[in-house]
Structure 1
């Protein structure tokens, strides 16, 4: 009853358990939580950080209320959050760094460092569009590993602009052309079954990103 009374007054209370992959936790989630705590001080927020696959499993098992994920995501109810542009990272001495933009055929035969955070499916699909197969040299869990390997001239990687908030010495990026994006979505198991606290999180997140796009 207390929750109903408070909710009617617009002062949401309750709990929301968020699951997000590492980049989302670094780039998006802190600002969302700070805004939530300011606007809805009665809502208790819990955060779990894991891989994209872990976040999806937590959604399935109802360990979390809402997740930040990337496709494929047909088994969940989703709300588009942002489109994150794909870029190619390489050593500044790499011949491809002389090009203004990079196409997938440019990458044929190059040593590819591939991230495990949901990039594998999309990258293989991009190469497949040109009937090519990426020459994967190493798989990595974290972009920091890829950056260090690029510094040592061990290959190049495809990632997204949101995934990069700094570049070490001798590492440069070029945009992938044609413009290619990775969708980042808010996901719940069933939108008809979400709590007021979860809805408040979704609406706060969408409002924040609408401001950034403006």
Structure 2
């Protein structure tokens, strides 16, 4: 029966052109090596070597056999290298931080795909505001985090982008707005307003401020999206919200597009130490392979 030692011995004999020296390499006797080679030649049904007192040479057919044996052993070594690297990666932990609802809606399918590929890597999920995630990344408290509107130099692996829209009570009339048309931020700054933050520093009020304007009638500030929509449906005010957070039932809401579209993007950013982790590189590979950047593919 041929085994890996037989194949290694055969390649060693071809390299050394001597059975004795090849046998010494693997700590076996010359007679044991000769017997093993004879058994392989019998199993193959061909002569691989021609032996005399001084040297051992490879036959023409043997050269092809040895060539295949070298490739087989090289592939085995590559397999062993992959297994070693996988074992090293699978002993690691990944500290992943993001906004709570991202874990609830966006990340689960990604993490499930990653777990199937790397079942022994432990992913520790940390929930925080976008500002907390940034602080954790800077301090090295987490390995990777979901960052809003990451700059290009941060080399983020993008998860998606999301447009901002205006959500208003169904019966509310907006001065100067024509049905079916987009709405300008200037037309809503004096309207009753619900500031919905979703736990993020970037929200409707900051978008208005960035436009050089100021909301004059803020009725309430809330961090939970469902609370915000309940207040809007009850006629308490309107809010600028991410489209991906809109409730399924819009029967009691009117959703208006902004005249000048504004988007927010999301991406996974590594901390300094996280960027050299084999496990995290594997996670980012899974993200890149399973996600296509598209509008409304992310949530806050």
Q: Give the structure 2 partner of residue 177 of structure 1.
A: 259
Q: How does 1:33-48 map to 2 (within 5 A)?
A: 33-48=111-126
Greater relative contact order (Cα < 8 A, sep 6+):
1
User: Which consecutive aligned stretches of 4+ in structure 1 deviate over 4 angstroms post-superposition?
Assistant: 2-5, 8-13, 72-77, 118-122
Q: Pick which of 114-123 and 15-24 moved more.
A: 114-123
Q: What are structure 2's unaligned runs of at least 5 residues?
A: 1-79, 296-300
Matched, 1:66 2:147: no
Q: C-alpha separation between the residues in 2 aligned to 1:75 and 1:122? A: 24
For structure 1, the residue ranges without an aligned partner over 5 or more in a row are none
- Secondary structure of the equivalent of 1:210? coil
Deviation of residue 133 (structure 1)? Answer: 0.9
Match of 1:142 in 2: 224
Distance 1:45 1:131, change over 3 A: closer
Partner of 2:291: 209
2:185 — aligned with what? Answer: 104
Distance 1:131 1:53, change over 3 A: closer
1:97-154 per-position Cα deviation (integer Å, ceiling 9, x unaligned)? 9444222122120122122346554645543465421233321111111011101111
Change (3 A) 1:57 1:120: closer
Determine the C-alpha separation between the residues in 2 that align with 1:54 and 1:155.
29
Bigger proportion of residues as helix = 2
Q: How does 1:151-162 map to 2 (within 5 A)?
A: 151-162=233-244
Kindly indicate whether residue 277 of structure 2 is the aligned counterpart of residue 195 of structure 1.
Answer: yes
CA change 1:44–1:82 in 2 (3 A) is same
In our comparison, the structure showing a higher alpha carbon Rg is 2
CA contact (8 A) 1:70 1:118 kept: no
C-alpha displacement of 1:26: 2.2
CA deviation after TM superposition for structure 1 residue 15, in Å? 1.8
> Alignment RMSD, CA only?
3.3
Q: Where does 1:122-133 land on structure 2 (aligned, <5 Å)?
A: 123-124=204-205, 126-128=207-209, 130-133=211-214
Kept in 2: contact 1:19–1:68 (CA 8 A): yes
